[in-house]
Structure 1
Amino acid sequence: MSIATVGGAYADVKIGITVSASGPGASLGQPQMKTVGALPKEIAGEKITYIALDDESDPTKGAQNARKLVLDEKVDILIGSSLSPVSLPLVDIAAENKTPLLTLAAAAAIVAPMDEKRKWAFKVVPNDDLMAEAILKYIGKTGVKTIAYIGVSDAYGEGYYKVLADLAPKLGIKLLGKEVYARSDASVTGQVLKTISLKPEAVFIASAGTPAVLPQKALRERGYKGPIYQTHGIATDDFVKLGGKDVDGAIFAGEAYTIADDLEAGNPFKKITSEYIEAYKKSQNQSPVIFGAHLYDSMQLVANALPSALKAGKPGTPEFRSAIRDSLELTKNVYLNNGLSNMSPADHNGYDERSAFLIKLDQGKFRLLKD
């Protein structure tokens, strides 16, 4: 178990974090664990303590960590996890203990449809349906009429597939087949051969981190020459390094952080991105990736909600935890690395099309795709 604690022993506000710093989700969880050192040590005059645990990309371990943080450490806010399957059990734990949860995972099912449990959960990563709709609209504009699907066999992949199956026909695109694989799989040869046999004009891969390399690399090695579309889960240096020339040209809809260098001067997204990069470099002496920004953004939302919550109760009390939840729900026009956040009682993700950018991996660098 990896534990990182930052802040004074008598910090007023306790933040519990569980991320997938090892296992199949390590390419997401490692930069998040490293980001802990870049988080603010004080907000609104209150000292902050962070207790960060590694859930090893395992839902059972994630649930154990969450219970330890909520019940033993009595944290005011729970953050995590990196992966959708690990995050889903945390929704129940947060609701049972009336502790606000800020998840770093992507699946829309974590926050929708809204109910008594999900009202305690908030999601800093844009919903997969927002990104899926943006990339599908782009694919439709290119004239593609048939597209095959390969995705991970968990909530992340299934969420994307459902959106694709619903939207593709409306855009005049026929969705061919459905092949799935586990994030820990070492080969997808069978799935790729079946996909190629369908002769799709394009292939959509729903995966994240380094596991997303496997199907694209196999497709290219087997001679598939059509366009390959991915998800915002690939925006890491590890994906680029592992995939090499085989992943170059991948197109996806992603967050402002990934292409901040290509945004015009004065763009409001640049400010928060610059702040995060500077804080991370100061802490780690290296550049961050988008997955670490998920954690940084979560604390930006907390910082925005904290002043109001402090008026309702002291940290460590049920009143304070409830007030944080209420304040998070009222988030308005907060620019994050992940997008422009505007939440409501019915929407605990809070993004719209302004938060979806078309991105292409071009010669090893993620670039804003120009229409």
Structure 2
Amino acid sequence: MEINKILLVSALAAGSVTAHAEVRIGVVTSSTGPVAMVGIPQKNTVALLPKSIGGEKVTYISLDDASDPTASVKAINKLISESNVDAIIGPSGSPNASAVIGIIAKAQVPLLAPVGTSTVVLPMNPQKKWVFKTTQNDDLIAQALVEDMVKRKIKTLGFIGTADPYGENWSKVVANLAASKGIKITQKESFQRQDTSLTGQALKLIAGKPQAILIAAPGSAAVTPQVALYDRGYRGQIYQTHGAALDQFLKLGGKKVDNTILAASLMLVINEIDNKHPSKAVALKYMNNYKKMYGEYPATFGANVYDAGLLLEKAIPAALKQAKPGSVQFRQALRTALEQTKELAGTQGVYNMTPMDHSGFDKRGRVMVTVKNGQWKLLK
């Protein structure tokens, strides 16, 4: 069955489907399942994406993969084979996005992945050239965290991350950066996102007596190990990745996540950001429009989908000059146009894409944040 689907996708890539009169964008989010805290604001954000670009109507076809990579594969195949989409935004999870790279490459459909792990775009290869990432790469965030550790004279660090591409890549990135700064990793642990008890991992980490511990996990999964460490008496400095950048982290963790340090999007502390920052106005527009529609501000993960819309809004007019939507030539032109994005201010930073950099963020795409009395605060 899967072989037949892949063959059908290949046929589409060869141009067997005629062009259509509108631009069709597929969207795959995890609006149910373990990654729902990430996926719900992403699904909701689709309603805020542009309805017309370059004089052409834009139709969005949104599917839920229930946080399951196998379902992501099915959804992507469906969007390509049945809807003949020109680009796809999603999926929400790093394992999910990693699972579909081969499919979108064969079909030659640009994928704008709103996921954490940089392995979907690095190292660059013929398949990954069809993927564009709308979040900061791990090394950009990790550099800021390690710089803070150096300032605090931290020499020993424990690490715990999810047993998937997100946590695994963070483990590699942090190990290299820490070693370059003379910081020793005392213990490495991993866990499944759905795990509810991490007593064993917490005790092993604490036994190493690290001055600080870095947790690499997305969404609600970032809370579980930190609570386990706190409940077993650990009071060293806790660092988190941008995967923890959502208000539910504060609600679920309560006082046990106070003093956490992370590098993340300026959206968490938007009122403390200088008005001159190129992303502030863009972020405020998105946040206010989202609140007007849904009655609450979005998690930063929703912004990753909004930025995908901004990237497409910039690139589609250039692609329309080359070919009609629905054709492989249009998708190829769209991929090229996305790769040529320069100085595009998004909600979380400024995008400058190149053939080797399909994330495009620089230091304008991160701020240092801490938790004080249950609130996000700019770390000063």
- TM-score category (smaller protein): over 0.9
Task: Give the CA RMSD over aligned residues.
Answer: 1.2
Query: CA deviation digits over 1:253-309, x for unaligned, max 9?
Result: 112222221111232211110121122123222211101000000010000111111
Report the counterpart of residue 152 of structure 2 in structure 1: 142
Deviation at 1:327, TM superposition (A): 0.3
1:70 pairs, out of 71, 77, 80, with 80
Aligned to 2:203: 193
Q: Which residue of 2 aligns with 1:25?
A: 35
In structure 2, how many angstroms separate the alpha carbons of the residues matched to 1:51 and 1:223? 48
User: Separation in 1 of the partners of 2:262 and 2:129?
Assistant: 30
Q: Deviations over 1:152-194 (max 9, x none)?
A: 1100001110011111011121111111000000110000011
Per-residue deviation, residues 181-237 of structure 1 (Å, max 9, x unmatched): 000001100000111111111111001111111111111111111110001111111
Partners of 1:177 and 1:319 in 2: how far apart? 50
CA contact (8 A) 2:278 2:350 kept: no
Q: Distance in 1 between matches of 2:21 and 2:195?
A: 43
The answer for the alignment partner of 1:216 in structure 2 is 226
Structure 2: distance between partners of 1:89 and 1:335? 29
State the alpha-carbon separation in 1 of the partners of residues 375 and 87 from structure 2.
Answer: 35
- Contact residue 235 and residue 289 of structure 1 kept, 8 A: yes
Q: Which secondary structure state, in structure 2, belongs to the residue aligned with residue 169 of structure 1? A: helix
Q: Which residue of 1 aligns with 2:90?
A: 80
Quick check: 281-290 or 156-165, which moved more?
Answer: 281-290
Question: Which residue type is aligned with residue 279 of structure 1?
Answer: N
> 1:260 touches 1:269 (CA, 8 Å); kept in 2?
no
Is residue 102–residue 123 contact of structure 1 (8 Å, CA) maintained in 2? yes
Bigger shift: residues 240-249 or 355-364? 355-364
Q: How many aligned positions are there?
A: 361
Identity %: 45
TM-score calculated relative to the size of structure 1: 0.95
Q: Distance in 1 between matches of 2:48 and 2:371?
A: 27
Which residue identity is paired with 1:15?
Answer: I
Match of 1:167 in 2: 177
CA distance in 1, matches of 2:264, 2:336: 28
Contact 2:175 2:185 (8 Å CA) reproduced: yes
Counterpart residue type for residue 130 of structure 2: W
Q: How much does 1:116 deviate?
A: 0.9
SS at the partner of 1:268?
coil
Number of the residue aligned with 1:254: 264
What runs of 5+ residues in structure 1 fail to find an aligned partner?
A: 1-9
Map 1:5-20 → 2, pairs under 5 A: 12-20=22-30
Following TM superposition, the consecutive aligned residue runs of length 4 or more in structure 1 with deviations greater than 4 angstroms are none
Q: Which residue of 2 aligns with 1:299?
A: 309
Structure 2 unaligned residues grouped into runs of 5+: 1-19
Per-residue deviation, residues 342-361 of structure 1 (Å, max 9, x unmatched): 00111111112232211112
Q: Quote the residue 1:156 is aligned against.
A: 166
Tell me the CA shift for residue 89 of structure 1: 1.7
Q: Deviations over 1:128-168 (max 9, x none)?
A: 11111111111111101101011111000011100111110
Pair 1:347-2:361 in alignment: no
State whether residues 278 and 349 of structure 2, in contact with CA within 8 Å, keep that contact through their aligned partners in structure 1.
no
Distance 2:332 2:285 in 1: 29
The residue type paired with residue 272 of structure 1 is: V
Structure 1 residues 104-148: Cα deviation after superposition (integer angstroms, max 9, x where no partner) = 111111011111101111101011111111111111111011010
Q: Where do residues 220-299 of structure 1 align in structure 2 (5 Å cutoff)? A: 220-299=230-309
Indicate conservation of the 8 Å contact 1:257/1:269, yes or no. no
1:104 aligns with 2:111: no
Separation in 1 of the partners of 2:93 and 2:338?
A: 22
Query: 1:118 & 1:208 partners in 2: Cα distance?
Result: 22
Once the two structures are TM-superposed, the CA of residue 34 in structure 1 deviates from its matched residue by: 1.1
Could you tell me how far apart the structure 2 residues matched to 1:219 and 1:102 are? 35
- Is residue 113 of structure 1 aligned with residue 123 of structure 2? yes
Correspondence 1:323 to 2:333: yes
